[in-house]
Structure 1
Amino acid sequence: MTNQSIEIEEPPTLQIQLDISIIIRPLTMFFLKTWRSTVFGVYGYLNFTKSGFIEHSKKFKPEDMLTRLNEKNCIVTGANSGLGFATAEGLASRGATVYMVCRNKERGEAALSKIQSTTGNQNVHLEVCDLSSVSEIKSFASRFSSKDVPIHILVNNAGLLEHKRVTTSEGFELNFSVNVLGTYSITELMLPLVEKAAPDARVITVSSGGMYTAPLTTDLQYSDSNFNGVDQYARNKRVQFVLAFVFSCVLEELRVLGFMVTGLTGNTETVGGTSKDLSEVGNLVKMLGFITDHIVLEAAPLFGLISTNLTGLHSEGARAYRCQSIEESLGEAGIQMESAENPIVALTEKWAEMYKNKGIGFYSMHPGWAETPGVAKSLPGLSERLSGNLRTSEEGADTIIWLALQPKEKLVSGAFYFDRAEAPKHLMFSATGGSHVVIDSVVDGLRSLSALSS
């Protein structure tokens, strides 16, 4: 018998070639964004909700809200509902002459009638202007300037959150057009009238706690890919395995914020000196569930990028993020490396610096999470999970009115306020610290887009 050697052919193996240098930076950015979102969700649940307002209001001074505003002229944008309506009503109830700037004439007239009836103040007026249109803002400014009335208080409240990409007739992305370009344009064009009210003039701009989760980028209008909900949902499924790891770290990481967890039921936690029943932990977990969606969306481009570098994986999502270098990969993934504040907060700082000798105070503020028509429409998940624990519009507008009433020497121009106190502009270790170069670049870009002279 002849001995024959039998060669057993091993099954083919999938050769995975991964260029670590391509993904390490985006991976770092992903975990940084995950950290921001997680800390923001926890911090927000404990501070931005109705329960947070009730806790903070224990330190409020009733006398701070007794100032009368007779003979003061105020402009409030987006004043037909929500925070804007509550602000206009609060100012009118204190005797101010209020100009409500609204996009929709019918809704504006209904809000105007209600405020006049409720406050008994007939010096409340409607100005119709679509703040998504620079040309309309310019027309409004020209028309209003002919009144030649000093503006003591300008409240930039108008804003929106549109999930799908919508382009205005002027070619701008809609969110950017209203929230940033519109705010910049109306403020710059109203400043001559605001300066007439110096030294007691002030500009109050409503920002959002969402600024804590992201740095400023010079790509303010964003790319089309960021608005493709179907593709993003498909990519979501690739990264859900990461979330178990992320949230397993939450309790450990909370100690950075000063939390002390002593039990899961029937015990208390200490948050900045306040005790809370840990029966609320379940609601907090629901809140973390909400920010999971946000984290997944942040991660989708990253994992599309990783997929392109795995031999044998050729999905459409992967090819969409094929990259040749780290910088290109960041750009294609929608990750910008510039670091600074939310545009509104950055603009407020810049205005405070530019006009510090003009007798005008510039302040930005965060209203907390309020139950407004805008929130219900744009963030239904937040509304559902925090049902019963969202602030009222009046509670959200409280700090706006407080800023309008305080002596200027009590306030810090350029500062960011929350619940009647100066607040930090960045969460701990969030890497959203400011860069004056980026801020200047953004302001120059806004000036160019709005065609306003410097």
Structure 2
Amino acid sequence: MSLYRNIISFFKGIHEYTRNGFETASAHFVDSDLDVSVVGRSFMITGANSGIGKAAAIAIAKRGGTVHMVCRNWERAEQAREDICRETGNKEVYVHLLDMSEAQKVWEFAELFKKRYRSLNVLINNAGCMVTSREVSTEGFEKNFATNTLGVYILTKGLFPLLERSSNPRVITVSAGDMLLQKLRTTDLQSEKGPYDAPMVYAQNKRQQVVMTQEWGKDHAGVHFASAHPGWADTAAVAATTPRFHRLMQGRLRTAEQGADTLVWLAVSNSAGATPSGLFFQDRQAVPAHLPLAWTHSPAEEELAFMGLLDELAASSRPPAAGRFRLSGQSVAQSSV
């Protein structure tokens, strides 16, 4: 019965994820929350060359922030950087090349960034993927897990020292409403058991991100952590990975700017910084990470065990001598600086 009720609750609530849902929620927004200058503060956004990542980069650059775009494709990222600079008049926008599915490269990038830059105030973990059939990276990790979970874990962990010595540091991770129908699964992180269901794997990764955020919020008092559901936005990624859904929802999907709104609010507003760390947000409000009567709760010890598994996997891919990596070279990181 609880399964049935939760599925009904989920589908009753999905109108909140649409453009109409955003317009209803935004009637209660405090406009002055985003009337801020962030000159002198630095922001790293993964997957910033398109969709809500690019929209967030534009919003932050307009407010004077220094933006570090972490992207997989150099040409698309450079084009996006030029667009952002032209639209905002802000030239403090830099591109770094990185594939988040390559765990060792993520470690290398984090080490190089810490050597080159003196501060990082906000990290927005936005990049993600939904590979439709099971693929394995060169390091042996299932691609969706490698990108959406392990890569996020390594990048955030690798940048902790820099964040912790920067002023008012924040980490925001873009999750999804799909995770509300998923319970944390620790026994099959690589999706090796049973048939491969890409949307379910993706939703599981998004549940994993919420758990990571909650646990980080408990353990790192000096950094403010949040995860967020951006709603259903009309982006190229949505069109490519879920074409049927994209066709059915034409005219009802949020714009990229609407999808990015809560990310920007979490990144720059004083109101967001005053909320407890580790919460899950939608439309500028902390919302439950589980449906009513949910079966998706996990014991605290299981969530701690999950974090331990991630730590082991991350450690197994960490380069033995990070200091040997150069500050140039497209295979590690590339910057327009």
TM-score, reference length from structure 2: 0.88
Structure 1 residue 107: Cα displacement: 0.8
Residues 1:36 and 1:383: Cα distance change in structure 2 (over 3 Å) = farther
Q: Which residue of 1 aligns with 2:335?
A: none
Q: Give the residue type in structure 1 aligned to 2:156.
A: T
What's the secondary structure of 2:281's corresponding residue? strand
Cα deviation digits, residues 269-328 of structure 1 (max 9, x gap): xxxxxxxxxxxxxxxxxxxxxxxxx8xxx9xxxxxxxxxxxxxxxxxxxxxxxxxxxxxx
- Is there any run of 5+ residues in structure 1 with no aligned partner, and where? 1-30, 230-293, 299-333
Q: Which residue of 1 aligns with 2:117?
A: 148
Q: Which residue of 2 aligns with 1:439?
A: 303
Q: Which residue of 2 aligns with 1:43?
A: 13
2:180 to 212, 215, 224: 212
Determine the C-alpha separation between the residues in 2 that align with 1:58 and 1:409: 21
Q: Give the residue type in structure 2 aligned to 1:155.
A: I
- Say yes or no: does 1:375 pair with 2:210: no
Q: Which residue of 2 aligns with 1:342?
A: 207
Determine the C-alpha separation between the residues in 1 that align with 2:138 and 2:235: 27
1:390-409 maps to which residues of 2 (within 5 A)?
390-407=253-270
1:353 to 218, 233, 242: 218
Cα deviation digits, residues 8-44 of structure 1 (max 9, x gap): xxxxxxxxxxxxxxxxxxxxxxx76565444323311
Does the aligned pair in 1 maintain the 2:266–2:273 contact within 8 Å?
no
- Say yes or no: does 1:102 pair with 2:38: no
Does the aligned pair in 1 maintain the 2:3–2:295 contact within 8 Å?
no
Structure 1 residue 148: Cα displacement: 3.4
Q: Give the residue type in structure 1 aligned to 2:228.
A: M
Determine the C-alpha separation between the residues in 2 that align with 1:175 and 1:133: 11
Structure 1 residue 126: Cα displacement: 0.1
1:63 to 10, 28, 32: 32
Q: How well do the aligned residues superpose, as a CA RMSD in angstroms?
A: 2.2
1:240-259 maps to which residues of 2 (within 5 A)?
none
1:129-278 maps to which residues of 2 (within 5 A)?
129-198=98-167, 200-218=168-186, 219-223=188-192, 225-227=194-196
1:448 to 298, 306, 312: 312
Q: Rg bigger for which structure? A: 1
Determine the C-alpha separation between the residues in 2 that align with 1:143 and 1:58: 43
Cα deviation digits, residues 47-83 of structure 1 (max 9, x gap): 0000100111110111111111100011000111111
Q: Give the residue type in structure 2 aligned to 1:354.
A: D
Q: Identity of counterpart residues, as a percentage? A: 36
Structure 1 residue 145: Cα displacement: 1.2
Q: Which residue of 2 aligns with 1:412?
A: 276
Residues 1:125 and 1:80: Cα distance change in structure 2 (over 3 Å) = same
Q: Which residue of 2 aligns with 1:430?
A: 294
Q: Which residue of 2 aligns with 1:11?
A: none
Cα deviation digits, residues 132-171 of structure 1 (max 9, x gap): 0011111211211111321111000011111210111111
Structure 1 residue 226: Cα displacement: 2.5
- Is there any run of 5+ residues in structure 2 with no aligned partner, and where? 319-337
1:126 to 95, 120, 128: 95
Aligned length: 313
More displaced stretch, 366-375 vs 407-416? 407-416
More displaced stretch, 95-104 vs 424-433? 424-433
What's the secondary structure of 1:192's corresponding residue? helix
Q: Give the residue type in structure 1 aligned to 2:119.
A: P
Q: Give the residue type in structure 2 aligned to 1:400.
A: L
Does the aligned pair in 2 maintain the 1:372–1:393 contact within 8 Å?
yes
Residues 1:33 and 1:101: Cα distance change in structure 2 (over 3 Å) = farther
Does the aligned pair in 1 maintain the 2:224–2:273 contact within 8 Å?
no
Q: Which residue of 1 aligns with 2:327?
A: none
Does the aligned pair in 2 maintain the 1:165–1:224 contact within 8 Å?
no
Does the aligned pair in 2 maintain the 1:150–1:195 contact within 8 Å?
no
Structure 1 residue 212: Cα displacement: 0.6
Does the aligned pair in 2 maintain the 1:78–1:102 contact within 8 Å?
yes
Cα deviation digits, residues 170-189 of structure 1 (max 9, x gap): 11111100000000000000
What's the secondary structure of 1:371's corresponding residue? coil
Determine the C-alpha separation between the residues in 1 that align with 2:315 and 2:240: 32
Residues 1:38 and 1:169: Cα distance change in structure 2 (over 3 Å) = farther
Q: Give the residue type in structure 1 aligned to 2:176.
A: S
Determine the C-alpha separation between the residues in 1 that align with 2:104 and 2:23: 42
Determine the C-alpha separation between the residues in 1 that align with 2:5 and 2:195: 20
More displaced stretch, 393-402 vs 437-446? 437-446
Does the aligned pair in 1 maintain the 2:233–2:256 contact within 8 Å?
yes
Q: Give the residue type in structure 1 aligned to 2:83.
A: K
1:253-332 maps to which residues of 2 (within 5 A)?
none
